Structure 1
Amino acid sequence: MSFVLKHLRDNLWSGSLDIFPEDRLIHGFSARQGGVSPVPFDTLNMALHVGDEPSNVWENRRRYFAALGLDAERICTIRQIHGTEIVRAFRRDAGRGAHDYADALADADAVITNDSGVALMLCYADCVPVLLYDPVHNAAGIVHAGWKGSLERIAVKTLARMGEEFGTVASDVLAGIGPSIGAGCYTVGREVADRFHAAFPRYAEKIVQDQDGEIHLDLWTANTMQLIEAGLTERNIDQAGICTSCDRNFFYSYRAADGRTGRLAAVMELR
């Protein structure tokens, strides 16, 4: 299993994980080149809520989706709030949040569907995008897992919601963890570290690491271990292994930019 960052056209790049079947699912992780947004959002900012001009964001979305072979008018997105709310999208919801942030589907941090023709999209810049695909029921879920969401097991809660809505069984699910901040760049305070120790006592030492007087948090491992604990097999979980803070030529990093930057997009659409 591997992550590939591929040049699509016109300096537009998209990452993908080869664990997902291309004949059933279109997915991608955008990079920051090929758009029209000015500094500090340069250039392919995909988010409407960071201060960029909406016309720039729409043009960026249009370009990236077209390069993926998708229609940006079919975007369905949410207002991410670092919580654990999960919402189901239907084909009728295609277009929600595509042009207008206020028109997004819900205040939530994960969205699921078993309808084709609706392009699920989340925006991020360091937080972990977790993609879930159920090949048995042809259902998908996309999750925004920052430290708060990871602590509250939002990926596992999304998996459970897919079980309720679609009959998804964890052992069938394929999961992908996209580009996001790696443990080497992600330092946290003692309070956050203690909360992870309390929440994940069985494998806290793999998530929280003391290095040179600083505490580092590994959100990739936190999400991987909780998915395995929930019933996924290790071979069905793929990681990009790309740190957004380390590779700022291709990716946005909220931390590295002191909070003033664009956002990447994680996208899933069922065929």
Structure 2
Amino acid sequence: MTTTIYTNNEQVLMGISLQDDTRPEKNNMALHVCENPETIIQNREHLAASIGHSLQDFVCANQTHSATYYKVTAADKGRGTLRADDAIPATDALYTFEPNIVLSSFTADCVPVLFYATDSTLIGAIHSGWQGTVKEISLKTFTHLKEHEHVDLTNVRVQIGTALSQEKFEVDEDVYTKFKTLGYANDWMYFKDATQKYHIDNQQTVKKQCELAGIPAENITIENVCTFKSDSGFSYRQHKQAGRHLSFIVRK
């Protein structure tokens, strides 16, 4: 299995590609960390075909652990798919109201956030590593959608995808302090005496940001699969040269 499908209904299709030892470069989807760009494009084309789309329907961003969001239109289709230099620059959250655009997010331990509205055509994809989380990218993106795109967040469904577990996400005091300063992450942090490290649940912190924006808790699903511990996960913590998952969502 090279893909996990989270949702496939009459409105949307969304899921995440997996590490697969039978695929070239273990099914790595990232052009910025690869041995051969042509192999990555082949992997992406294989994914696209498996979900009934052309690679030219995809839109990719150059992710920089920012809190920047971008509204995608049909004119952006194909950006970042065949080469990295035409991707959406310095952006970690994509959203659109248009159909047949496959929004992408690349992760290897960071938290992928996929979302869609049940009362409009809105879909989106957010990349929230710990730096994006402390910058509150999810909270800021959903607040923007509410205030400027007039989205009713009570009708938004969120899928928080596979990421580094709290057990494996160990940090020093500087990162702990950044999360503590948020004021709402304390319930998802603990200190381990044996290693003198703090452990943080980034997925739960992102979930809280979604709730603070106005999304009901019951509308948010978390995939409890650790990228470090799972054989199908790409983990930067475990292997610095790790490939990347591609999370995707498309409005039918």
Please, what TM-score do these two structures have when normalized by structure 1?
Answer: 0.88
Aligned to 2:141: 158
Determine helix, strand or coil for the equivalent of 1:43: helix
* Structure 2 match to 1:14: 3
Letter aligned with residue 149 of structure 1: G
Hey, what's the Cα distance between the residues in 2 that align with 1:61 and 1:106? 20
Provide the residue aligned with 2:247 in structure 1.
266
- Pick closer, same or farther for the CA change 1:156–1:143 going to 2, 3 Å: same
Q: Which residue of 2 aligns with 1:252?
A: 234
Do 1:45 and 1:264's aligned partners in 2 also have CA atoms closer than 8 Å?
A: yes
Partner of residue 26, structure 1: 13
Asked whether the equivalents of residues 35 and 63 of structure 1 are also in contact (C-alpha less than 8 Å), the reply is no
Deviations 1:170-224 (A, max 9, x none): 2111111000101010001101101111112xx3321221123321011011011
| Deviation (angstroms), 1:165 | 5.0
Contact 1:141 1:158 in 2 (8 A): no
Q: 1:130: which partner in 2?
A: 113
Structure 2 residue 72 is the aligned partner of structure 1 residue 72: no
**Do the aligned residues in 2 keep the contact of 1:134 with 1:173 (CA within 8 Å)?**
yes
Sequence identity (%)? 26
The corresponding residue for 1:191 is: 174
- CA RMSD of the aligned region, Å? 1.5
The aligned residue for residue 206 of structure 2 is 223
Alignment pair present for 1:205 and 2:186: yes
Q: How does 1:51-130 map to 2 (within 5 A)?
A: 51-130=34-113
Unaligned stretches of 5+ residues in structure 1: 1-6, 8-12
Q: Offset at 1:34?
A: 6.5
Q: CA–CA distance in 2 between the matches of 1:52 and 1:125?
A: 17
Q: Secondary structure at the match of 1:269?
A: strand
Q: How many residues get paired? A: 250
TM-score in terms of structure 2 length: 0.94
Please tell me the residue identity of whatever aligns with 2:242: T
CA contact (8 A) 1:126 1:255 kept: yes
- C-alpha separation between the residues in 2 aligned to 1:218 and 1:237? 16
**Could you tell me how far apart the structure 2 residues matched to 1:118 and 1:35 are?**
28
Distance 1:173 1:180, change over 3 A: same
Paired with 2:197 and 2:21, the residues of 1 have a C-alpha distance of 36
Q: Is the 8 A contact 2:19 2:234 kept in 1?
A: yes
Q: Which amino acid aligns with 1:252?
A: F
SS in 1 for 2:81: coil
